[in-house]
Amino acid sequence: MVQPGSDMEAAAICLRKGDIVGIPTETVYGLAANALNADAVAKIFTAKNRPYFDPLIVHVHSISEALKYVHSMPEKAKLLAEEFWPGPLTLVLPKKEIIPDLVTAGHNTVGIRVPSHPVCLELLQQLDFPLAAPSANPFGYVSPTTAKHVADQLGEKVCYILDGGPCMVGVESTIVGFPQGEPVIYRLGGIAVEQITEIIGPVAEQISAGSNPSAPGQLDVHYSPRCKLILSDYTEVNDSESTCYLRYSAPIQGIDLSRQFILSPNRNPEEAAVNLFATLRMTDAAGYSLIVAELLPETGLGRAINDRLRRAAAK
Ligand code: TXA
Ligand code: MG
């Protein structure tokens, strides 16, 4: 059982020899391997129990590094990269041969991003290869936002867990592709849609689930706690001792406060995102049988949070 630590050299040694490592990013913790080594990447799929049709995101330390792995960047992709990298934005772009098909699930595109977490950036700079990394959780479960979350579920399966503290964003990166040269948002995430349209104008969205999604973050049952979750806006609730409440900013009057979890007392969606996944894990661990979740206003990161809550409710 690997315990999290801050020894960057230990993490680098594991990665250089083709092993998998839990790494901090600003969004969620990743389960990383050398993206150019298919044998190393295969270990990610095995450890996560992840289906091979679900492609991985490749992490690099700079735009110039990204250009080594993609054939071209449409003008609007360049504008987004210049504005939001390093940061929680993944661009899906035509891949070069050097990226193994296993990473991209056979697609001729690769999802690539420059993370802003200083520990992650420093690690990437010390390596002479990029890191393929999905979120460091068993497939379908809530993403990890602390090193301990990674240790709890994957501690037996990794070579090292690099601790970078709690994640500052708390939801995964926003994913933007350019299927016909024009931008399409595939996954809502840490960069709000409003921030993207401010830079490149109106953007199409393809976020709904399908049997063969272009971004499996679109699968309905993603991000699910084990415990049943319902959305309070749509459901009559029969309260009991084993029911807890996930609230945006204020508790429901007349219900035991110890069973109500507030994501952001100040009604700040960024703060709510930081607390979302840790709160879902905690309610699972506490043994509640039902989570009644309140949706946020549909603006800014509220949309990404609501997307995760709806998927958790779809299970
Ligand atoms: O914030 C994040 O993006 C985190 C951190 C670790 O960087 N990573 C993450 O990875 O959320 P993961 O595997 O949980 O989600 C990656 C999503 C998947 O739904 C995958 O299908 C999509 O990115 N994706 C990757 N490459 C793609 C491609 N070529 N085309 C379409 N979607 C792609
Ligand atoms: Mg994931």
Is the confidence at residue 258, as pLDDT, over 50? yes
Query: DSSP string of 75-138?
Result: HHHHHHHHHH-SSSEEEEEEBPTTS-HHHHTT-SEEEEE----HHHHHHHHH-SS-EE--BSSS
- pLDDT per residue as tens digits for the range 17-49: 999 999 999 999 999 999 999 999 999 999 999
Mutate to test the pocket of ligand 1, among 57, 176, 185 (most ligand atoms within 8 A of CB): 57
Q: Is pLDDT at 216 greater than 80 in this prediction?
A: no
- Residue 217 has phi, psi (to 5 degrees) of -55, -15
Q: How far is the CA of 138 from the centre of ligand 2 (A)?
A: 9
The answer, yes or no, to whether residue 142 has pLDDT greater than 60, is yes
Higher pLDDT, 207 or 169: 169
Confidence of residue 212 (pLDDT cuts 50, 70, 90): very low
**Ligand 1, closest atom to CA 103?**
26
Q: pLDDT band at residue 222, thresholds of 50, 70 and 90?
A: low
Model confidence at 218, in pLDDT bands (50, 70, 90)?
low
C-alpha 28/C-alpha 9 separation (Å) is: 21
The pLDDT score that the predictor gives to residue 199 is 98
- Residue to probe by mutation, ligand 1, list 121, 172, 308, most atoms within 8 Å of CB: 172
Nearest CA to ligand 1 atom 21: 215
Percent of the chain whose pLDDT exceeds 70: 94
Instruction: Specify the range with the lowest mean pLDDT, choosing from 1-10, 188-197, 221-230, 260-269.
Output: 221-230
Q: Whose CA is nearest to atom 27 of ligand 1?
A: 111
4 pLDDT exceeds 50?
yes
Cβ atoms within 10 Å of 59's Cβ, excluding its own:
29
What integer is the mean pLDDT of 125-138? 98
For 232, residues 6+ apart whose C-beta sits below 8 A from its C-beta are 245, 292, 293, 294, 295
- pLDDT-derived band at 171 (thresholds 50, 70, 90) equals very high
* Whether the Cβ atoms of residue 76 and residue 160 lie closer than 8 Å to each other: no
- The set of residues, in sequence order, having a beta carbon less than 8 Å from that of 63 and lying 6+ positions away, is 81, 82, 85, 114
What pLDDT, on the 0 to 100 scale, is given for residue 137? 96
Q: Which atom of ligand 1 is nearest to the CA of 104?
A: 29
Between 206 and 216, the more confident residue is 206
Ligand 1: centre distance to CA 194 (Å): 21
Instruction: Supply the pLDDT for residue 210.
Output: 42
pLDDT digits (tens, 9 = 90+) for 63-76: 999 999 999 999 99
Set out the domains of the chain in order of their start, with CATH numbers: 8-170 (3.90.870.10), 228-313 (3.40.50.11030)
DSSP 216: G
6 pLDDT tier (thresholds 50, 70, 90):
very high
CA torsion 90→95→96→101, rounded to 10°?
100
Residues 104-129 have a mean pLDDT of 98
Q: Do you find a cis peptide bond into 86, omega within 30 degrees of 0?
A: yes
Pocket lined around ligand 1, Cβ cut-off 6 Å: 25, 27-28, 30, 54-57, 88, 90, 92, 104, 107, 109-111, 133-135, 172-173, 175, 177, 186, 214-217
> Where does residue 226 fall: left (phi above 0), alpha (psi -120 to 50 degrees), or beta otherwise?
alpha
297 pLDDT above the threshold of 70: yes
The tokens describing 310, both together, are 């709806």
Any idea which ligand is nearest the CA of 164? 1
Q: How confident is the model at residue 183 (pLDDT cuts 50, 70, 90)?
A: very high
Please determine, for residue 170, whether its predicted confidence score (pLDDT) is greater than 80. Answer: yes
Ligand nearest to the CA of 87: 1
The runs of H, that is alpha helices, within the chain are: 8-16, 38-48, 63-66, 75-84, 101-104, 118-126, 147-154, 193-200, 269-285, 301-314
Task: Using the predicted structure, report yes or no on whether residue 219 has a pLDDT greater than 80.
Answer: no
pLDDT tens profile 265-289: 999 999 999 999 999 999 999 999 9
| Protein residues placing their CB within 5 Å of the ion ligand 2 | 135
